[in-house]
A and B are shown apart, each in its own frame.
Chain A
Amino acid sequence: MSASVRGPHGRRPWKLTPARLGLYGFLIICALFFLTPLYVMIVTSLKDMPEIREAHILGLPTAPSLAAWSKAWFAACTGLTCNGIRVGFVNSLRIMIPSVIVSIIVGAITGYALSFWRPRGAVLLFGVLIAVAFIPYQVFIYPLVRIFSYLGINNSIAGIVTIHTIFGLPTMTLIFRNHFAALPEELFKAARVDGAGFWRIFGVIMLPMALPIIVVAVILQVTGIWNDFIFGLVFAGRENLPMTVQLNNIVNSTQGEREYNVEMAATLLTAIVPLVVYFVSGRWFVRGIAAGAVKG
């Protein structure tokens, strides 16, 4: 430091001003606010019931054990049966995988058709799709239940997959259409001049160029479908209840002694899949929000 003889020279020394301190302080407090529920869930799931009753929820477990996790996975009671939440986990997978695939395919094709081919009424159809995205599900549910039971697909995997496709269509179409609309139209025109038709252009040219948006779509759908509760409750049927519904049953339908550690373990187990997706996808998750949030 050359302060004494020379005076200010080169880089300004970094000073911890009160403002900077306040900034970091506030951010740290907020971070704690955001992390506390997760922290509490984790430590509670590692304690045993006496400790939960004695100590307070912010304390670390004295003898951490995974007993509660094991019980939650294998033996928790979801209503009448006590086979653990792994049943729900498997169901959620059985629901999620076909739903993600079907909803993305339908969304991609619809978005593609609406962006490049623009048949008559395309604007109207797109408008209807977008409008529906804002309307509460309760407006549609009852008639859909009746239609599905008439078709025989109520309370089945086919039914819930169809529902997820139906209600995922607006967002999926939106993001695919916007993505395709941003591609240069010359690409499309050149392919038409070369004689390619609707499906060939889609499969050979557009789909490979849609890889980034497919990743975004997968993230959005995996998270959305895994976290879904209301549709699983109504349309999946008793044998196919997803994890979220089972979780709610575990917690809200227990008579007598509540085992908080098991409940927290079950909650965490339900949260793991989307959390992993979130942390693995990083930037892409934010891109997904941006794509879904920019409505038109």
Chain B
Amino acid sequence: MDVQGNVSLRGVAVGYGPIRVFDRLDLEIAQSEFLVLLGPSGCGKSTLLNAIAGLTEIDDGEIWIGDRNVTWHEPKDRGIAMVFQSYALYPRMNVRANLSFGLKVARTPRAEIERRVRTAAEMLQIADLLDRRPAELSGGQRQRVAIGRALVRDAGVFLFDEPLSNLDAQLRSELRVEIKRLHQRLGATMIYVTHDQIEALTLADRIAVMKDRTFQQIGAPQEIYLRPANRFVATFVGSPAMNFVPGRIELGTGGPVFRSASLRLELPTYPFVQAPVDAAPVELGIRPEHVIVAPDAADAHEVSVELSEPMGSDLLAWTRLGDLPLSIRLPAETRLTPGDRLRILLPERRLNLFNVANGARM
């Protein structure tokens, strides 16, 4: 079985009847890469995954897996394995049968089936569940079996369709780690669909953020997090959410300056993507954890604390800069009362400027 794992989408278009779902998508995924398709419901990420799997027909373009053009291939011939949101285990078969059914149908020799089932079961710690039926398993166990069923296929590309969405928070974080470990151990290419940005940030080598069936930004997690390409990506990724301050760019003798009702920031070294236009309306974004509390700084801004949310590991302070809300992340032990005044700095290298008209990064 060829274990080729690089995936290439060239000009892929998918439509349902007269409605075009995507048009001309291009995506290159390297061997052994963990790519996450991240986006809200309806953004098209699952459709794209189904197209890669061969479960949905594409209207135009080509899909290549390894060095083979698999555009017309059935899912079983594409060298892929898939894990579904609702586990989709075969209900009346026990775990061992679930894992081996596909291999039996493909006439794999029994010894080989045994070996693969055993390996997968050990990797996923489900060896003592082999004789149970899905109905007798918990949600987390079922999902492990579903992953096991994908493992035994010895595929080069693994596709995950929101596999953890049906689990509670604790199970989700457990299995997240398992999946990451699996990726490190197997080295297979993994394409993972989710709407949960934490999963994306923790698991991915690269994230492709999608909205309205187009790619908003494709890049490494840190890139997406620290330098979001547009306002949507900035809002969608990162929790608690980024702060936004509406204002204007002013071009003066000292270089570009951000001006809003209660804020004036000089931007000498801000890496503008396009040359800034004077009086252009912009939004300034800064993440709560990037705001620095600097009681002694000369050019600090003053904010008044409205309320604080202790979140266990740290504290989220909701303050007002003038009449604008600003959330700041502070160490958990900080003592605050409503009405306190804080002096803060907004470091230039942590700023994100967005064009108000189209949300793009400036």
Question: Which A residues have a C-beta under 8 Å from some C-beta of B?
Answer: 6-12
Contact = CB atoms under 8 A, between A and B. Distances in A.
Contacts of A7: 62, 69, 71
A8 B62 CA distance: 7
Contacts of B71: 7-10, 12
Contacts of B13: 10
Query: Nearest 5 A-B pairs (CB), nearest first?
Result: A8-B71, A8-B72, A12-B72, A10-B60, A7-B69
A12 B57 CA distance: 8
A11 B59 contact: yes
Contacts of A8: 62, 69-73
Nearest to B70: A8
A198 B59 CA distance: 59
A255 B72 CA distance: 69
B65 to A, nearest CB: 12
Most buried by A among B13, B72, B73: B72
B58 interface: yes
Interface of B: 13, 57-62, 69-73
A9 B57 CA distance: 11
A6 B10 CA distance: 13
A11 B58 contact: yes
Contacts of B60: 9-11
Nearest to B63: A8
Contacts of B72: 8, 12
B55 to A, nearest CB: 13
Nearest to A10: B60
B59 A9 contact: no
Nearest to A6: B62
Most buried by A among B57, B70, B71, B73: B71
A8 to B, nearest CB: 4
A51 B58 CA distance: 58
28 contacts: A6-B62, A7-B62, A7-B69, A7-B71, A8-B62, A8-B69, A8-B70, A8-B71, A8-B72, A8-B73, A9-B60, A9-B61, A9-B62, A9-B71, A10-B13, A10-B58, A10-B59, A10-B60, A10-B61, A10-B62, A10-B71, A11-B57, A11-B58, A11-B59, A11-B60, A12-B57, A12-B71, A12-B72
A9 B61 CA distance: 6
A7 B67 CA distance: 13
A207 B58 CA distance: 48
A108 B71 CA distance: 57
Contacts of A11: 57-60
A12 B55 CA distance: 12
A208 to B, nearest CB: 35
A9 B69 CA distance: 9
A252 B71 CA distance: 66
B320 to A, nearest CB: 42
Most buried by B among A7, A10, A11, A12: A10
A8 B72 CA distance: 6
B136 to A, nearest CB: 27
Given A8-B69, A9-B60, 10 more contacts: A6-B62, A7-B71, A8-B71, A8-B72, A10-B58, A10-B62, A10-B71, A12-B57, A12-B71, A12-B72
